Every structure is written in C-alpha cells, then in structure tokens.
Amino acid sequence: MMASAQKRSPSPIEQTQRRERVGVKSSASGAAKRRLSHEDERLLKQILVKPQDYIDSEVFYEQNAERSIYDEAPDIQQPDTTWYHPVMDDLSGTRSRTVKSSQQVILTAAEERVLFHQFNYARHRVRQIQDEIWANPDRQPTPEQAESILGWHRRADRIREQIAETNLALVLAMAKRTRMSEVDFADLVSEGNMALLRAVDKFDAGRGFKFSTYACRAILKAFSRQGMKLSKYRQRFPTDFDPKLERSNFLEEKREEVQRDTADEVKQIVLANRADLTEIERTIIDYRFGIDEEPMDKPMTLEQIGQIIGVTKERVRQIQNKALDKIRVELESKFLGEPAEHEESEAAAAG
C-alpha cells in the first residue's frame, strides 16, 4: 500500500520538459488543464516567441470583414508544380522543360489582391490573439485561444505557399537570366526561393502594383547578395580557394550522359518507328541527322534535302518540325510519363 501510494519524483529532464511545455488554461467550465499534442505545442510555442508581422489594411476593420475576405471571395485556381524540377532541368542540357499553358496559373491583379488580403488578414488575427494572450498575467492561452491562433497561423501558411508556388517560374526565369559561373545553379535557385517567400511576407497589395514587379527585384537583389558573399569569402580566404578543387565536372559529365542516353533512345524511336512517322518524315530525319548510318560530320541543309525530294526548303522545315514533335511526344511519354498533348494541334494542322 505504501509503495503504491508513493509517487515517483520526476527526473531533472522531465522537470525541464514540464517547465518548457506550453500550457493551456482550463476552460470556464472548470475542465482539467488540457495538453496540446507535441506538434501543436511546438508550433504554439514558436508562434508566441515574437509578435506576428502583417501588412495592415482598412478592409480588416470593416464590418463582417472575415466573411467578405474569405466566404465572398472568388475561387482562385491552385497552382500545379509537377513541372518544377530546376536541378534536373540544369542537368538535362540546353533544352529545359518549360511551364505548359495547362499547368501555368497567371493571377490577375484582382486575384492577387484577394490572396494577399486573405494572407495578411490571417496574420492580423494571429497578432490580435497574441495581444490577448500577452495581456494576461500568466501569458498562457485558453483552449479557445490556442485552437484559434493555430488555425489562423496554418491558414496563413497555406495561402503563403499558394502564392509562392504560383510564382515559382519567376525564380527560374531570373536564375537563367543571371547565371553566375561562380555560383552553383541549385544554390542560386534556393536563394531565389527564399527571396520569393520574403517578398510574399513584405508585399503590400494595396499599393496597386503586381506582385511579380516587386518579387523580381527582390529575387535579383538576393542573387547579387549571394554573389557578393561568395566573392568576399574568396577575398578573405584566398589560399583556401582552388577553382580546380571547388568546381567539379559532375554537371558536364551528367549532361553528356543524359545526351547520349537521349540520342540513343531517339534513334531507337526512329528505327522502330514508334512515333508513327510517315515515309517522307523518316527520309528527312535521316538526311538531316543520319539516323540509319553513322553520325554525319556535316548534316545536310534544308535546301539540299529539298532538291533531293523535290520540295521547297520551307516545306522540308515544316515536315521536319512535325516529325520532331512526334518524336518528342513519344520520348516524353516514356521518360516523363506525360500523356501526348499534341493530338488536337496536329488534328487542327491536318484539317
């Protein structure tokens, strides 16, 4: 009985964990003190570290602001980011994958304003609940406050992610435009993504500008800072920097490997005619690229092929492009698992 009545004293580690655990005050009904899950507890503690920043707006203080900002707002298409593989694109050679029209979401100024109002209103509500919690002497949230502040914080994160994913193409466009030989492409894209997220946090949609105008400048400034930091490091540690050691030939080798594999696969597609090429298309591809024989030192020109088969060089170019489109569709369907999307365009061209 005595052994069962005695309570085991907590260890020093347990005492520290209890002191650091964010508690939730009991509700007005007198229910026992409720513990949050470890994930919610960690997130709540992180939220209460510092005041939440947000871009204020007069809309937030209007009557029924929450309903007008969320419930009465138009639905905005979610972005498709399945195309986003910047490092893989860099390894694939000169031709990188582009955003297809069916995947790209371009927001109007009105849609951007709706999203940023929703994003900043959620952060505004987080700040309001923070002030209410810190106004209490014990600075501990009630169950209702904890649930509300977590909900608004997660909503703000979801909208922030939606805005950033919609504008991912900006980062790639700026990175390809300002390629720096001394900065790795993956590091450049990573720095641009962080700059994009910071731009989402700081952008004021009420000023009437498009977000891309603000974000592009922020991304380019981040690239410049990245290059300056690398230059300062090299100036500070000149003896530690050896270009032969710092720069590997992995990308070049990977590009050559991808090009060889792709060329072999294209050759098999043409030889087996898996792309359903017509006889004239196969003839032109063979003359231009030497598929059936060893690679030619100097490919035949469009005009030379036209003289052989009896058509103009412009007609040869049209047939060649059509054949290359068929080969590309077959290649992408095998390696990328993407369905053929040129059927309608081909049918229209045939019509």
**Domain spans of the chain, in order of start:** 58-236, 250-350
**Would 58-236 and 250-350 be classified into the same CATH topology?**
no
Q: What mean pLDDT comes out for the span 227-242?
A: 69
Q: What is the pLDDT of residue 6?
A: 47
- Confidence class for position 30, pLDDT limits 50, 70, 90: very low
- Top-confidence range, 243-247, 285-289, 315-319: 315-319
Q: What is the pLDDT of residue 11?
A: 59
Q: What mean pLDDT comes out for the span 226-235?
A: 75
Q: What is the pLDDT of residue 192?
A: 92
Q: What mean pLDDT comes out for the span 24-38?
A: 57
Q: What is the pLDDT of residue 132?
A: 94
- Top-confidence range, 64-73, 96-105, 258-267, 283-292: 64-73
Q: What is the pLDDT of residue 16?
A: 47
Q: pLDDT higher for 93 or 258?
A: 258
Q: What is the pLDDT of residue 26?
A: 54
Counting residues of the chain whose pLDDT is more than 70, the rounded percentage is 73
Counting residues of the chain whose pLDDT is more than 90, the rounded percentage is 32
Q: What mean pLDDT comes out for the span 279-307?
A: 78
Per-residue pLDDT tens over the stretch 98-138 = 555 455 778 888 999 999 999 999 999 999 999 999 998 88
Structure tokens at 99: 């955003």
Q: What mean pLDDT comes out for the span 220-249?
A: 71
Whats the size of the chain, residue-wise? 351
Placement of tokens 């040869």 in the chain: 316
- Confidence class for position 296, pLDDT limits 50, 70, 90: low
Q: What is the dihedral of CA 84, 87, 92, 94, to 10 degrees?
A: 90
Residues 6+ apart with CB under 8 A from 311: none
- Is residue 237 pLDDT above 80, yes or no? no
Q: What is the pLDDT of residue 219?
A: 93
- Is residue 313 pLDDT above 50, yes or no? yes
- Is residue 57 pLDDT above 70, yes or no? yes
Q: What mean pLDDT comes out for the span 14-35?
A: 51
The per-residue pLDDT of the chain, averaged, comes to 79
- Confidence class for position 273, pLDDT limits 50, 70, 90: confident
Structure tokens at 206: 């009420």
Structure tokens at 259: 């090009």
Q: What is the pLDDT of residue 80?
A: 84
Domain at 250-350, CATH from 3.10.129.10, 1.10.357.10, 1.10.10.10, 1.20.1260.10: 1.10.10.10
CATH 3.30.460 fits 58-236, yes or no: no
Residue 164 CB neighbours (<10 A): 19
Q: What mean pLDDT comes out for the span 9-17?
A: 53
- Top-confidence range, 160-164, 248-252, 345-349: 160-164
- Confidence class for position 242, pLDDT limits 50, 70, 90: low
Q: What is the pLDDT of residue 258?
A: 80
